[in-house]
Copies of this chain bind each other. A is one copy, B any other.
Amino acid sequence: MPKSSDHHGAGATGSIALVGAGPGDADLLTLRAIKRLQTADIVLYDDLAGEDFMAYLHPDAELIAVGKRAGHPSPRQDEVSRLAIAHALLGKNVVRLKAGDPTLFARADEELRAARDAGIAVEIVPGITTATAAAAAIGASLTKRGVARRVQFVTGHDVDGRLPRDLDLAALADPTATTCVYMGKATFPGLTEQLIAHGLSAATPAVIVESLGSETTKILRGTIAEIAARLTIDRPSGPCIILYGAALAEA
């Protein structure tokens, strides 16, 4: 293996930071995320992380898109890990920039394990997750005393793009929870049918937030039945998060 010749010194092992980019608004990056971007030699980034973060990079930093936007081909997860590890072994500071928060629906466990197995120091820098950014954007609290004391996050699609089969529907149909469905625009109509079959009122308030953190953010309010009907007729093109639950009645 060639010796590293960069500013970390010959032969030094680099590092990997899994950094949360937040929902896409440049001003929802944390200071810690910005610090990691400023000292990164290589940034492997998701499409959904937006582009505003690039302003913080060192001019010599290398940028590699490893996007996973639904419907587009993207590198396999293990190839992303291998790339990050290879650069770290050459002494580079690698930032793996992920939309939202790295610990939620971002497959961080696989990248963490691969890095640890390779003996690379790996850090997680938290980010604003889409659910709380969406709640802020619609001006609503996800919890509400006496109405919603449990908040749950689920992903709306499985590895094959379909509704996961092992969802705990009783938990998701609980009228006293607020539920945030990530990546659910294709499957929410099917999910709604099952929620109603499990006793959740079709009139439960729901909000869909499309393209959060961009200039084209769209917010659509209704009941779960109305949101499901709308998604069936006209599926939004941007990434979406769907929130539902009684706490959103005033959103």
Contact = CB atoms under 8 A, between A and B. Distances in A.
Contacts of A124: 135-136, 139
A153 B151 contact: yes
A171 to B, nearest CB: 4
Interface string A77-106: 000000000000000000000000111111
* Most B-side CB within 10 Å, residue of A141, A167, A171, A250: A141
Interface residues of A, number: 63
A212 to B, nearest CB: 11
A8 to B, nearest CB: 22
Contact of A30 (B30, B110, B122, B150): B30
B136 A103 contact: yes
Given A149-B154, A150-B154, A168-B150, A30 B128 contact: yes
A142 interface: yes
Nearest to A103: B135
In the complex, the count of this chain's copies comes to 2
Contacts of A32: 25, 27-28
Nearest to A137: B124
A106 B247 CA distance: 13
A232 interface: no
Interface string A102-145: 11111111101100000000111111110011011001111111
Interface in A179-219: none
A63 interface: no
Given A22-B30, A127-B128, 7 more contacts: A27-B32, A102-B136, A109-B144, A110-B145, A112-B250, A151-B153, A152-B171
Interface of A: 20, 22, 25-32, 34-35, 101-110, 112-113, 122-129, 132-133, 135-136, 139-145, 149-155, 159, 164, 166-168, 170-172, 174, 176-177, 247, 250
